[in-house]
Structure 1
Amino acid sequence: MALDLTTISVALLFLLVLSPLATSFPLNITDDKPSAYEVLQGYNFPVGLLPKGVVKYDLDESTGRFHAYLNGSCSVSLEGSYQLKYKSTISGIVSNNRLKDLSGISVKVLFLWLNIVEVIRDGDELEFSVGIASASFPIDNFYECPQCGCGFDCVNGKVSKLRIKSSFSSI
Structure 2
Amino acid sequence: MAKLLSLLPFSILLLFSLCSAKPNPNSLKAAHTELTAFGFPVGLLPSNVADYSINHTSGDFSIKLSDQCMLTLPPDNYLATYSKIVRGKIVKNKIAQLDGIRVRALFQWWSITGIRSSGDDLVFEVGMLSAKYPAKNFKESPPCEGLKADS
Q: Which 4+ residue blocks in structure 1 deviate beyond 3 angstroms? A: 78-81
> C-alpha separation between the residues in 1 aligned to 2:53 and 2:76?
33
For residues 77 and 36 of structure 2, what CA distance do their matches in structure 1 show? 28
1:107 aligned residue: 103
Q: Where do 5+ consecutive residues of structure 1 fail to align?
A: 1-30, 151-171
CA contact (8 A) 1:81 1:109 kept: no
Aligned identity (percent) is 35
Contact 2:39 2:119 (C-alpha < 8 Å) held by counterparts: no
Consecutive unaligned residues in structure 2, runs of 5 or more: 1-25, 147-151
Count of aligned residue pairs for this structure pair: 119
**Aligned Cα RMSD in Å?**
1.9
Matched to 1:97, the amino acid is N
Counterpart pick for 1:45 among 37, 40, 44: 40
Rg comparison, structure with higher value: 1
- Deviation of 1:55 after TM superposition, in Å, equals 0.7
Length-normalised TM-score, structure 2: 0.74
1:44 and 1:105 mapped to 2: Cα distance?
Answer: 19
**Per-residue displacement from partner, 1:97-142 (whole Å, max 9, x unpaired)?**
0000000001101211000000001230000000131100000000
What residue number does 1:124 align with? 120
User: 2: distance between equivalents of 1:50 and 1:110?
Assistant: 23
